[in-house]
Every structure is written in structure tokens, then in C-alpha cells.
Amino acid sequence: MATTRRDFLASSLAFGGTLLLPPAHLSASTGASEWLPGYGRLEQQGKLEARIEQADAILEACELCPRRCGVDRGAGDKGYCRAPSRVMVYAAQPHFGEEVSLVGSGGSGTVFFSNCNLRCVFCQNWSIAHKGMGNRISDERLADHMLRLQRIGCHNINLVTPTHVMPHILRATRIAFHKGLRLPLVYNTSGYERVEILRILDGVVDIYLPDCKYAESTMAAKYSSGADSYPAVTQAALLEMHRQVGVAKPAEDGLMYRGLMIRHLVMPNRVAGTREFTRWVAEEVSPDTYVNIMSQYHVAYRAAEFPRIARAITAGEYLEAMDWAEQAGLTNLDPRSLAVRAVYRRRGAA
């Protein structure tokens, strides 16, 4: 289905008068009428349906993530993530706490999926991820959520913990595209992803927003339910994401439309392996990779049972982490992380 400039504007105006203009940096080089999010381009090329079929086939003996449970999800069998056959959503709402280039003035359109394939002991959304709070909905209803987020002015569709429901997301996105969805898709994942599965998303996802939680297998196994393969698996996943979407840089309007944005949560007592992580990104991905060194670790869920992670981080630990990022040569650090560092430095000097 070709989308002309008139179609594009008409579909945009249909959503409560919210005019969705393409990013200036893209429209300047390609012409406004040509700009579409990745999934839209794939659909126009007639390739999206085949990706959906590929993804659906994997659900029959589920290997969507590195746990590779082999259960028949379509028949309702549950694997490690405990996800049922229908997609479960806890909330779909604008979120203003994400990275500035995702939030803009209208917020990031977050869709929080219930359940999780990683299940960390310090999970900050444990009632959703571990306990599975949320509602089972149809793909059509998920598409409606996406369209509502667009209608109220969100700048992207931010899919939080999407790994175990990727096929449902693809189906819903296709439905939503035909009803006028034109926002970039943000794949907001723990990073524990199989490269083979990510290849199905090549060209579909506009922005990858993965965590990189650990550099050591022992830490991953201890704090993320035995996932000792996390460092190696996630590093391979990050390289694949970078290959697909490249470096993330905001457009002239300050918003992000494409690229890889890596999150790394600093943990107490160097549990997250920040020094090794920052070196690896600079050397193996690219020094200008967008990296958000996050300071908001707090004791949640079962973290109090584990002495090394049973406290918040100190200002000194955060400053040390940012120093390592700079020493590694990373040049595209998240602006808010730089602001936090400046505050901690001022407090230290005072």
C-alpha cells in the first residue's frame, strides 16, 4: 500500500488534529512524503506479513528468547516467562521519565507488558514482571492502545519488556499501521535477546532501547534467575541491534527516530561491571554509541536478601562509573546522566 503525501497528512489529521510531521533530518534528505517508520516501509514492500508468519511459527515450540522453553504458546502452554497465549498489558500511557529525546513535550507512549523472561531479584516492576499483573487483550485492542497514544500526542510507541510477546506486537503494529499509526517503535528490552529473533525485527524496529545489566556471568546467574549466558548473549544482541539501526542521535526537533540507545544501571559494589561494559561498547560497538549510565538503582523486590545489592549506590560509585565511561572514550552519553554527574560533583566540591 503506497502512502502519498495527501494520505499521510489525512491519516495524521484524523487523530484529533495531531499533525505528525516527519523528522526534519529525514524530510530534508528524502522528501516528507517518503518518510515512514520502519514497519510502514516493510509493509509497503510487502514484507511485514512474512515476518509475522515467521514469528508466529516460533510460538509453536517457543524459542523467542534464550530460555528456549520449547512450549506451545499458541496452545496456552507456559514457559519460564509464564506468558499466556494472548498478550497481557498492564498499562499503556504517556511516560515522562524516559530519555529526554524519547519524551519530548508529549511523552513516550509506553506499553507495559506483563511477565518477563529474565526475572531479576531487584526488579523494580516486580508486580508486573514477576507476578504477571495485567489484562489479557486481543491484538486489535493492542493496536487501539498504540493509536490512542499517537492521538494524544506521544512521540513514539515504547514497548516495555516486549521479548516474550514479539509476535503479538508485530500483528498489532500491522493492524495499527493500516489505521494510521506512524510513530517510531521503541524496543525497550532487558537485552536478553537471541540474534536469530532480532533478525525478524530487522527493519521493523526504529529504536532499540536495551539494558546491558552485567559484564560477568556469575552476577547474571545470581541476580537474574540463573541467566549465566546474559553477558555473551546480550553483547551479541547489541551488535545486531547496532547493525540494524546504527548510532542514535536526536533529530533537529530534539526527538529520537532511529538508533541504538543502551541503558546501564550502576549497581552497588560494582556488581554491574560498569568498567568492562563501557570498554566493550567503545571497542566493539562504537565510541559514539548512545549510552545512558543510570543512577536510580534502589532496593526492590528481593534485593534486601542479597547483601551486595541491599543498598542504593553512593555518589562516589556513580562518579566512578561516569569516569570509566569517559576513559573508555564514549562520546554520546545521555544528557541526563551528564547532568546527574554535574550535581554529584558540585555536592562533592561543596
Residues that bind ligand SF4 (CB under 6 A): 62-65, 67-69, 71, 79-81, 83, 117, 164
Comparing CB distances to ligand SF4, the nearer of 5 and 136 is 136
Report, in Å, the least distance between residue 67 CB and ligand SF4: 4
Closest chain position to ligand SF4 (CB)? 79
Which burial class, exposed, middle or buried, applies to 2 when counting CB atoms under 10 A from its CB (0-12, 13-18, 19+)?
exposed
Report, in Å, the least distance between residue 250 CB and ligand SF4: 32
Report, in Å, the least distance between residue 69 CB and ligand SF4: 3
Report, in Å, the least distance between residue 144 CB and ligand SF4: 24
What count of Cα atoms within 13 Å lies in the side-chain half-sphere of residue 231? 19
Report, in Å, the least distance between residue 129 CB and ligand SF4: 12
| DSSP states of 13-76 | HTTTT---PPPHHHHHHH-GGG---HHHHHHHTT-HHHHHHHHHHHHTT--SSTT-----GGGT
Helix residue spans in 293-334 (DSSP H): 315-328
Report, in Å, the least distance between residue 239 CB and ligand SF4: 21
Q: For 155-265, list the strands marked E by DSSP.
A: 157-160, 185-189, 207-210, 259-265
Q: If residue 275 lies in a helix (H) or strand (E), which one and from where to where?
A: helix 274-280
| Distances from the Cα of 184 to the Cα of 4, 121, 207, 231, angstroms | 19, 31, 7, 28
Report, in Å, the least distance between residue 223 CB and ligand SF4: 17
Which residues, 6+ apart, have CB-to-CB distance to 266 below 8 Å?
272, 274, 293, 294, 295, 297, 313, 317, 318, 321
Task: Look up residue 297 and give its three cell numbers.
Answer: 538503582
Residue type, 337: S
Comparing CB distances to ligand SF4, the nearer of 81 and 313 is 81
What DSSP character marks residue 314? Answer: P
